[in-house]
Structure 1
Amino acid sequence: MEARSRNAAERWSPSPEASRVVQQIHTMLHPRNIVLVGATDKPGNYAERIWNNLIKYGFEGGLYPVNSKRETIWGVPCYKDFANLPDKPDHVLVLVPARFAVQVIRNAAAAGARSATIVTSGFSELQDDESQRLAVELQQAIRETGLAVTGPNCLGNLSAGEKLFTNIDDRVVTMEAGPVAIAGQSGAIVMAIRQALEDRGVGVGYMVTTGNEAGLETTDLMNYFAIDPSIRVIVVYLEGVRDTKAFREACKAARAAGKPVIAIKLGASEGGRAAAMAHTGALAGSIESFDAISAREGVIRARGLDELVETTECVVHAELPKGPRLAAVTLSGGKRGLLIDAFSAAGLNFANLSPAASEKLAKMLGPGSIVGNPLDAGFAAVVDPSVYIQSIKIMIDDPDTDIVIIDAELPKATHELRERNLRRVDEMAASAGKPVIYISTMSIGFTEFTKGLRQSLPHIAAMQGLDRAVGAIKALIEYAELAKNVPEIASSSSASARATLERLLKSATGAALDEVSSKKLLKAYGIPVSKEAIARTPLEAVKIAKTIGFPVVAKVVSAEILHKSDVGGVMLNLNSAAEVRKAFDQISARVKKLKNKPKIDGILIAQQVKADLELVVGTALDAEMGPVVLFGTGGVEIELMKDVALAGAPLDAIEAKKLIGRTKAGVKLRGYRGKPALHEASVIKALIGLSNIMADAGNRIASIDVNPFLVNSRAGVAVDGLIVLNNDNAAAKGTGSD
């Protein structure tokens, strides 16, 4: 025990300035002793499996089983309660039934424990009243005692440096403090990720299963891993984000520490979709919103577990590239083609080599050889095997390349030439100043030989499966670019704009602002709107139309009609006074026939804008991630086209341009196939204005839908606007749905 205490004292610990939660997590992952409450030797039960793992891997602290009905268990003394322990409890494993767990937590804290893991299930994951009541009582006990608690309904943790494995997994674990930390709610998925990384020779220093997260959340673990110097990559499994602000702050902490966060995120939020009554909300599912916000904070979202493993392999072993310029060496013309196709499909291209590098390759390969990138060195290497290594060195040394890819898999058994080549490339990569990445175009199984060889090559990434490798390399490039310049953006709205917002929100009575009020707010935030006025009689409608100038548009104004075209509430191309009078009467008659008898405030007579492109711009308050901004192709086929992209709010001009550039609409906006560029500045202004509205409104606006936003070469203008409020009546009120 004394020897272990000295070793622990030599290990890193948080500074006194670190947050209380971070210090708590440290005590949980580096405990003086572990107490198993609910110890039983019933074959195969969780308590016995965890005990066996603690013994097998040699946890050096105290181990104390507790069961009031046993004096011995597993061949060691068993204690009746905390008071009978030979030492003050530190970390407590709760293995008793759910109805006893709350009292165990309180008793543990009273006895001096600092942390606990509640393996027991039977709380908020169940829907019955008793389980829900126990969940509330457990959260209250955790708050009141101040214990660092993971669970309930979890499968335990790993702290490799402490040889601590309070987990039920009986697969082999390498107890070495590796550079990867894993945390997440699903014990089975987190354990599977750890095993897959271990099979690939990637060391895992920490693994924490958080279960129902009644106490510590995955976000808390991210903050801890961000400051632990032994960790270089953070892997998380997220079923949901409870506190967007806390999540973003944790991501920023990881990014500031130079530690990529690689995430698996479960799908879209039904709650978010149900609350969305505008196009923007319907198109902004939570997974897209998660991507929009988390990507800005430096999170790499993997689309599956295989991709997560490849991405982790890549970021653990590859340096951050200075740019996207790719180079590759292969021994096959066919594989050269596969590399070109796969990277091109991902929007990545192979660089033009520098003249010096091209000249060296041409001289080495000989007359008639084709010097290209990717380089097919196969024929020349058959004649002279040294050509292969020399080609790789030229690619690495070329200042016009940022990433060097080698098409080859690791051998499954000893192979003198291939092993020698791998070690020479690893030596080159150590001082290359750029990532060097081996790619096996197909997945192969790692033998124990492969695994050992891989661990002896710390400076190169070894990836499997071309498509997954391409995705991981693209993520590495994007992360490196983000790390250079991370914007901290705040609302840039004026005092008068904020005053208009407060006045309109205060006076709102329904689920949404009507079009007139919506456009007042848009205009206040610098978003250009069409010339228009509201008419309450046919005569007034004609007068307004003549003032604006023909042609005009007529639209019903009602806060209770969200999508006017669905109910015949819009008529276009009105070119005379007679047509305006007729449109006024027809729209009024159609709306009066609706079953819910919506209140009509009048008919809006608006300028009909001639445009070269119909866009949609908008915002939505995602149920998990908060406000996001949307841009894309608009008009009546918006859901069919789904040419949209999202970004976190608020935006500045640089971020707005990036958002526009991620769509086909952005290509058209900037000029396509000889057509002139359109007025992008007005679109950027609209996106910034919309994001400022959401930032200033807090969570009081559910979504803003501007469809269409019409653009020509001279200007852009919002000809429609729908602002849906975030209140209890929002889901129930409204007529029609696009």
Structure 2
Amino acid sequence: MEARSSSAPTGKWSPSSHASSVVKGIHAMLHPRNIVLVGATDKPGNYAERIWNNLKHYKFEGGLYPLNNKRETIWGVPCYKDFASLPDKPDHVLVLVPARFAVQVIREAAAAGARSATIVTSGFSELQDDESQKLAAELQLAIRETGLAVTGPNCLGNLSAGEKLFTNIDDRVVTMEAGPVAIAGQSGAIVMAIRQALEDRGVGVGYMVTTGNEAGLETPDLMTYFAADPSIRVIVVYLEGVRNTEIFREACKAARAAGKPVIALKLGASEGGRAAAMAHTGALAGSIETFDAISTREGVIRARGLDELIETTECFVHADLPKGSRLAAVTLSGGKRGLLIDAFSSAGLNFAQLSQGVSDKLAKMLGPGSIVGNPLDAGFAAVVDPSVYMQSIRIMVDDPDTDIVIIDSELPKAPHELRERNLRIVNQMASAAGKPVVYVSAMSIGFTEFTKGLRQSLPHIAVMQGLDRAVGAIKSLIGYASLRKQVPDIVSSSSASARATLERMLKNAKGPALDEVASKKLLRAYGIPVSREEIARTAADAVRIARKIGFPVVAKVVSAEILHKSDIGGVVLNINSVAEVRKAFNDITARVKKLKSKPKLEGILVAQQVKSELELVVGAALDAEMGPVVLFGTGGVDIELMKDVALAGAPLDAAEARELIGRTKAGVKLRGYRGKPALHEASVVRALVGLSNMMADAGSRISSIDVNPFLVNTRTGVAVDGLIVLNSAAADGAAGH
């Protein structure tokens, strides 16, 4: 019996009609009454024969029907010419015919009563020629019109352990026992490798689904199904791209509401990775930081590689969720003690200070001259009295002031009576204490068949290999446990007047961006404080406005065609007199006239020069893959140098805005650093929520919003610059194209 996390973050989630339909379709696919292999052939080594052999070897209990209109028998059984000649109505169809026949098979299968299909055949959207793209479009249309639950094309089949179903080409040995892990992903080779690695570690896999090009079902659809299946506790996915942000986010919400972590390996952490995703499945992979910003708040843990994914899965399968982050550790080596301290402190995790009572208890047990600390090195005392080791572990596990206990050890490779007995005792301790107990080996140690069997008998202990990977997994466990218990479905909280202003300005936009005056007008409508300012058409206007606002003032070029004003000398600061106002107006105008691009000059903005203690950047963007996100961090001219920014999905509420601020060095300064007073955080929160509302209201019509700098002092925060860039489609529509 595998361990189960004692508690998990839960949120409100109600399935949409899409989610309900998906769950029903996938259930039919993974629990079919029969399987029909269309394109059955006994050519040695072909996919059809390998899948047939797997289905027979693992004793699938439903009907198995090969179909090929050119054969009477195959593999020693009757071969059927068409769906009408089958002894039963087809249920799940494996499509193994060439790509040009696949669409016809899908339509005929649906007409004959089939509920689901897996298209193993390749030759669709993963290729770039016109014929393959046309076939892909026709296949998508057929799937949509028939309503079949379909994985593929260009996939390698599926596993449903409880049904003894293995429609996969893999000929490695599979332990066909339903386990608590479900795996889905676009790359068949990677998904199969994950399953094999987990099995080698003694972690059971209940489902494995390869989705290929995802012409029908997508990986988020499988996430939704696994979230609804009570036998699954941990969901593992490989993502090359997210095609539908809303469906992905809904799937994440479903998993989180069910208390099931989603451990994801996401392609696209580099430009090369994103290019590979495009070439492989035609997926549009976006910024990995944006993926993290949106998915992490919904309980997704992104692994940085396959080894980390395996360790993290192992951790979540066997460890209860901790109540906090107070670490304790027991080792038999002073060197290992140092490694533990270094590794966890580098990840921002620290070992708890032992209470006086626990310290006294350990000192008495270890004897005179012993060093009592956390991590505890019990090595010297254990040489004299071997029972000291187990007593030390019990004290740490029983200590109410520890949340996670780490034991520096690995499982034996061969029978060892004492170590096996000790492991069983620790397993019982962990079960009784309801806190994570994690065995960590500093390096990767191979499992023998004996080790694998022993591991399966210890359901309440996580057994992890490689210290750095273990640290990452434990940090993820702590992070998941600390997620907000209730996450409301956040929607835009903007006013009707703000939305009306947005619609009017987007409708009247005449270029790729709103100029600074228009941008600030829209920012103000969404509750974002902006500096006092007015546009001047002449030098005399500039003087009048400056006197009205009061010196010092700033002068800035206003043109929707000039996105970076300072780059062309379009900003003059610290203007303190009438003469300086006139000079600034004339200088900026002359610089614009000299530009080869001949941008249209709307005027010169004369604005209040705000005294600030801190320059911030607040902004938002529409990510091509994940949708709208909000940005916060260190602003001004240091934004590229410092790279101190954090992202969050939009829309967000005030609590999430404060959490976003807290993830940056700018946030530390904002809240008071080294004796300096705290600055006006409320204005920053208001700005972030306002920007997120604007992005939500605009849909896909705004590409980005840049407010840099946003100046903050102890009394207020003010946007002194603003640029709203429109999505090209919105700009084309506004221009009448």
Q: TM-score, normalised by structure 1?
A: 0.93
**1:628-649 deviation line (CA, Å, top 9, x unaligned):** 1100111123122211000111
Spell out the pairing of 1:117-136 with structure 2 (5 A cutoff). 117-136=118-137
Name the structure 2 match of 1:279.
none
Name the structure 2 match of 1:629.
630
Cα pair 2:701 2:729 within 8 Å, conserved: no
CA distance in 2, matches of 1:182, 1:363: 49
**1:595-628 deviation line (CA, Å, top 9, x unaligned):** 2211111000112222221111101111111111
Residue 55 of structure 1 pairs with residue 56 of structure 2: yes
Name the structure 1 match of 2:510.
509
CA distance in 2, matches of 1:546, 1:441: 70
Name the structure 1 match of 2:287.
286
Cα pair 1:79 1:85 within 8 Å, conserved: yes
CA distance in 1, matches of 2:726, 2:422: 64
Look up the equivalent residue of 1:24 and give its one-letter code: G
Name the structure 1 match of 2:481.
480
In structure 2, the CA distance between the partners of 1:692 and 1:287, relative to structure 1 (3 Å rule), is: same
CA distance in 2, matches of 1:46, 1:32: 22
Spell out the pairing of 1:153-192 with structure 2 (5 A cutoff). 153-192=154-193
What's the C-alpha RMSD, in Å, of the aligned pairs? 2.1
In structure 2, the CA distance between the partners of 1:217 and 1:638, relative to structure 1 (3 Å rule), is: same
Cα pair 2:255 2:262 within 8 Å, conserved: yes
CA distance in 2, matches of 1:84, 1:488: 51
Name the structure 2 match of 1:83.
84
Residue 391 of structure 1 pairs with residue 382 of structure 2: no
Note the C-alpha offset of 1:313: 0.2
Residue 210 of structure 1 pairs with residue 211 of structure 2: yes
- Secondary structure at 2:637 match in 1: coil
Name the structure 1 match of 2:490.
489
Spell out the pairing of 1:344-383 with structure 2 (5 A cutoff). 344-383=345-384
Name the structure 1 match of 2:201.
200
CA distance in 2, matches of 1:732, 1:406: 63
Spell out the pairing of 1:316-715 with structure 2 (5 A cutoff). 316-482=317-483, 484-715=485-716
In structure 2, the CA distance between the partners of 1:17 and 1:105, relative to structure 1 (3 Å rule), is: closer
CA distance in 1, matches of 2:428, 2:636: 57
CA distance in 1, matches of 2:101, 2:626: 36
Which range moves more in the overlay, 635-644 or 471-480?
635-644
Look up the equivalent residue of 2:46 and give its one-letter code: N
- Secondary structure at 1:654 match in 2: helix
Cα pair 2:509 2:731 within 8 Å, conserved: no
Cα pair 1:510 1:729 within 8 Å, conserved: no
CA distance in 2, matches of 1:371, 1:556: 67
Note the C-alpha offset of 1:580: 1.5
Look up the equivalent residue of 1:70 and give its one-letter code: R
Cα pair 1:49 1:170 within 8 Å, conserved: yes
Note the C-alpha offset of 1:443: 1.0
Look up the equivalent residue of 2:565 and give its one-letter code: K
- Secondary structure at 1:637 match in 2: helix
Residue 72 of structure 1 pairs with residue 73 of structure 2: yes
Note the C-alpha offset of 1:18: 8.1
CA distance in 1, matches of 2:69, 2:250: 44
Unaligned stretches of 5+ residues in structure 1 = 1-13, 275-283, 734-738
Cα pair 1:239 1:266 within 8 Å, conserved: yes
Cα pair 2:286 2:624 within 8 Å, conserved: no
- Secondary structure at 2:615 match in 1: strand
Look up the equivalent residue of 2:457 and give its one-letter code: S
Cα pair 1:68 1:81 within 8 Å, conserved: yes
Note the C-alpha offset of 1:687: 1.1
Cα pair 2:67 2:79 within 8 Å, conserved: yes
Cα pair 2:286 2:626 within 8 Å, conserved: no
CA distance in 2, matches of 1:59, 1:207: 16
- Secondary structure at 1:616 match in 2: strand
In structure 2, the CA distance between the partners of 1:223 and 1:17, relative to structure 1 (3 Å rule), is: closer
- Secondary structure at 1:627 match in 2: strand
- Secondary structure at 1:553 match in 2: strand
Name the structure 1 match of 2:724.
723
Note the C-alpha offset of 1:220: 1.2
Name the structure 2 match of 1:6.
none
Unaligned stretches of 5+ residues in structure 2 = 1-14, 276-284
Cα pair 1:354 1:399 within 8 Å, conserved: no
Look up the equivalent residue of 1:580 and give its one-letter code: V
Note the C-alpha offset of 1:270: 7.7
- Secondary structure at 1:19 match in 2: helix
Which range moves more in the overlay, 91-100 or 242-251?
242-251
CA distance in 1, matches of 2:632, 2:471: 27
Name the structure 1 match of 2:11.
none
Q: TM-score, normalised by structure 2?
A: 0.93
- Secondary structure at 1:431 match in 2: helix
Note the C-alpha offset of 1:710: 1.1
Name the structure 2 match of 1:10.
none
Look up the equivalent residue of 2:389 and give its one-letter code: Y
- Secondary structure at 2:176 match in 1: coil
Note the C-alpha offset of 1:34: 1.0
Note the C-alpha offset of 1:549: 2.0
CA distance in 2, matches of 1:17, 1:37: 28
Structure 1 segments of 4+ aligned residues over 4 angstroms from their partners: 268-271, 729-733
Which range moves more in the overlay, 472-481 or 82-91?
82-91
Note the C-alpha offset of 1:503: 2.1
Look up the equivalent residue of 2:532 and give its one-letter code: K
CA distance in 2, matches of 1:133, 1:294: 33
What percentage of residue pairs aligned between the two structures are identical?
A: 86
Look up the equivalent residue of 1:354 and give its one-letter code: S
Look up the equivalent residue of 1:469 and give its one-letter code: A
CA distance in 2, matches of 1:205, 1:332: 39
CA distance in 2, matches of 1:576, 1:504: 35
